[in-house]
Amino acid sequence: MRVQHLLSGLRPRGVNRARRRTAVGLSVAALTVGATTAAGPAVAQPEAAPAAAADCSAAYKIEQTLTTGTKWSMCWHYESEAGLVLENISYQPKGEAAPIRVLTSAKLAQIHVPYDDGSVEYDDLTGAGFGQGLMGMAPGECPGGTIKTVKVPDSWDPEHPNVKGLCTTTRSRGHAYRMQGDSASKVFQQQGKDLLVYTVNQVGWYEYITEWRFSDDGAINMNVGATGSLSPGDYDAGDGRGWPIGKGAKAYATSHSHNVFWRLNFGLDGNSKNKVEQYDSVVSPPAANGEAPRNKTTRKPITKELAGDAKNMRWWRVVSTTGKNKDEHARSYELVPGASSKYPGRNYTKHDVYFTQYKKCEQFASNNLRNCGTGAGKSVDKWVNGQNLTHPVAWVNIGFHHVARDEDQQPMPVHWQGFSIAPRDVTAMNPLTPPELADQNGKPDNGS
Ligand SMILES: [Cu+2]
């Protein structure tokens, strides 16, 4: 049943893909999915490259010192299902003697695409050939940067597995800060710089841009942008679950969701033992003689695995058990969710973030084609089962409900979804502080 379902689920896209790829590609994909699913424990895919990749050869290293002085470094490799995987991600702002490890690994963990009419749902990473769909980029798509050649495992075209498909470049993002000095002529300002790392992966008629943005202030932004074309096969919504595209009201493009999952394996200060905390705020009316409403923010240590829901004024952070900044504060990274339309249709899409205790076989948020043992389940919701959380893996779910519009053709404008992680007490001050202000840390003494 399940194989049948997956195969029929693949059909529309596989057929579409035949426009550009060979029919052989389709049967390979179908066989791969069928075989792996049917075989259950017989897991053919190797795990990610050995975690031993403490370092990597030059070809697999991304290292960039931004003009503002911050250096980012990481290793990359490319997997059959997940596509681009980044490892050993470290941040070294000017003034820090050594790189500060942030993440042991970071990658997409699924793009789940259910259609509103219930006709089909896709797991684009483990069920629809995301990895194989890596697209070559022309230099103009990577302005000012370098396009690395990627060897695609299980390539659709075994004769040509090498794709110039990984762009690394830098970009200006506008003000990093601005501050008026003692006189009108003295303004402290800096234009922030980002390192960008991205690939484009085609799945059916869609093309997904997977973008990682490493900022000179220590933040990491992760976004997926969907572009390409609306699938012609989807212009059949006849039950009020679509939007008319094209002349009049004849062809309705079926609405659907793109539920994107990221998997972040934290390793702050090079140690996988990290703590997780949740913060919530309660705002109450002004006190009897008070002038304004009051807010009380409380910290809740998350010591067991968690399926978390975003909430007004709620946030999470992952805290180092090893490193402190120069102010003796524990280093941490805060999760900053982006806009999301959470899709309640599946247990694994019902929550915004999952924190699970690291387990090697747990690689994809849904349709995890790995052997995690009998009864372990194939989606992230099943892995939140009360274990102590000492080596947290964060799974972040950002959903987008795509109701097509006339502007979606042609090509479809990129629609982005994602989130970021921001440093909290990683450095003792703004990592971009200019030398003249370096002594302004803590309570000012008011010159008295
Ligand atoms: Cu869409």
Q: Which pLDDT score is estimated for 427? A: 98
Q: State yes or no: pLDDT of 63 exceeds 80.
A: yes
| For range 400-418, the mean pLDDT | 96
Number of Cβ atoms within 10 Å of the Cβ of 71? 18
By mean pLDDT, which of 157-161, 282-286, 424-428 is the weakest?
A: 157-161
Q: Which pLDDT score is estimated for 447? A: 55
Residue among 217, 423, 422, 426 at smallest CA distance from 325: 426
Q: Which pLDDT score is estimated for 446? A: 64
CA of 256 to the centre of ligand 1 (A): 6
| For range 55-67, the mean pLDDT | 95
Q: State yes or no: pLDDT of 169 exceeds 50.
A: yes
CA of 230 to the centre of ligand 1 (A): 7
CA of 185 to the centre of ligand 1 (A): 50
**pLDDT range class, residue 47, cuts 50, 70, 90:** very low
Q: Which two tokens stand for residue 63?
A: 């290292």
Q: Which residues contact 413 (CB under 8 A, 6 or more apart)?
A: 227, 407
Q: State yes or no: pLDDT of 243 exceeds 50.
A: yes
CA of 197 to the centre of ligand 1 (A): 23
Q: State yes or no: pLDDT of 175 exceeds 90.
A: yes
CA of 266 to the centre of ligand 1 (A): 30
**CA–CA gap between residue 187 and residue 181 (Å, rounded):** 5
In three state form, how does the secondary structure of the chain look? CHHHHHHHHHHHHHHHHCCCCCHHHHHHHHHHHHHHHHHCCCCCCCCCCCCCCCCCCHHHEEEEECCCCCEEEEEEEEECCCEEEEEEEEEECCCCCCCEEEEEEEEEEEEEEEECCCCCEEEHHHHCCCHHHECCCCHHHCCCCEEEEEECCCCCCCCCCEEEEEEEEEEEEEEEEEEECCCCCCEEEEEEEEEEEEEEEEECCEEEEEEEEEECCCCEEEEEEEEECCCHHHCCCCCCCEEECCCCCCCEEECEEEEEEEEEEECHHHCCCEEEEEEEEEEECCCCCCCCCEEEEEEEEECECEEECCCCCCEEEEEEEEEECCCCCEEEEEEECCCCCCCCCCHHHCCCEEEEECCCCCCCCCCCCCCCCCCCCCCHHHHCCCCECCCEEEEEEEEEEECCCHHHCCCEEEEEEEEEEEEECCCCCCCCCCHHHCCCCCCCCCCC
CA of 251 to the centre of ligand 1 (A): 16
Burial of 295 (0-12, 13-18, 19+ CB in 10 A): exposed
Q: Which pLDDT score is estimated for 155? A: 94
Q: State yes or no: pLDDT of 435 exceeds 60.
A: yes
CA of 248 to the centre of ligand 1 (A): 21
CA of 319 to the centre of ligand 1 (A): 36
Q: State yes or no: pLDDT of 309 exceeds 60.
A: yes
**CA–CA gap between residue 405 and residue 409 (Å, rounded):** 8
Domain 2-271+397-434 class in CATH: mainly beta
Q: Give the model confidence (pLDDT) of 21-35 as tens digits.
A: 333 333 333 333 333
Q: Give the model confidence (pLDDT) of 181-202 as tens digits.
A: 988 889 999 999 999 999 999 9
Residue carrying the six token digits 């390793």: 267
CA of 61 to the centre of ligand 1 (A): 33
CA of 94 to the centre of ligand 1 (A): 41
CA of 209 to the centre of ligand 1 (A): 13
Q: Which pLDDT score is estimated for 401? A: 98
Q: Give the model confidence (pLDDT) of 75-92 as tens digits.
A: 999 999 999 999 999 999
Q: Which pLDDT score is estimated for 136? A: 97
Most confident of 50-54, 184-188, 217-221, 444-448: 217-221
Q: Which pLDDT score is estimated for 448? A: 52
Q: Which pLDDT score is estimated for 183? A: 86
CA distances from 298 to 281, 282, 313 (A): 6, 8, 11
CA of 231 to the centre of ligand 1 (A): 9
CA of 270 to the centre of ligand 1 (A): 38
Q: Which pLDDT score is estimated for 163? A: 98
More confident of the two residues 237 and 313: 313
Q: Over pLDDT 70: what percentage of the chain?
A: 87
**CA–CA gap between residue 232 and residue 247 (Å, rounded):** 15
CA of 408 to the centre of ligand 1 (A): 9
Q: Give the model confidence (pLDDT) of 116-144 as tens digits.
A: 999 999 999 999 999 999 999 999 999 99
**CA–CA gap between residue 248 and residue 124 (Å, rounded):** 32
CA of 147 to the centre of ligand 1 (A): 27
Mean pLDDT of the chain: 88
Question: What is the C-alpha R_g of the chain?
Answer: 23
CA of 255 to the centre of ligand 1 (A): 8
CA of 142 to the centre of ligand 1 (A): 24
For the chain, give every domain's residue range: 2-271+397-434
CA of 404 to the centre of ligand 1 (A): 7
Q: State yes or no: pLDDT of 42 exceeds 50.
A: no
Q: Which pLDDT score is estimated for 357? A: 98
Q: Which pLDDT score is estimated for 69? A: 97
Q: Which pLDDT score is estimated for 236? A: 79
Residue among 310, 250, 252 at smallest CA distance from 278: 310
CA of 400 to the centre of ligand 1 (A): 8
State the Cα torsion 43-46-52-55 to the nearest 10°. Answer: -150
| For range 95-108, the mean pLDDT | 97
**pLDDT range class, residue 323, cuts 50, 70, 90:** very high
By mean pLDDT, which of 28-37, 239-248, 328-337 is the weakest?
A: 28-37
**CA–CA gap between residue 221 and residue 211 (Å, rounded):** 8
CA of 246 to the centre of ligand 1 (A): 17
CA of 46 to the centre of ligand 1 (A): 31
More confident of the two residues 52 and 371: 371
CA of 257 to the centre of ligand 1 (A): 7
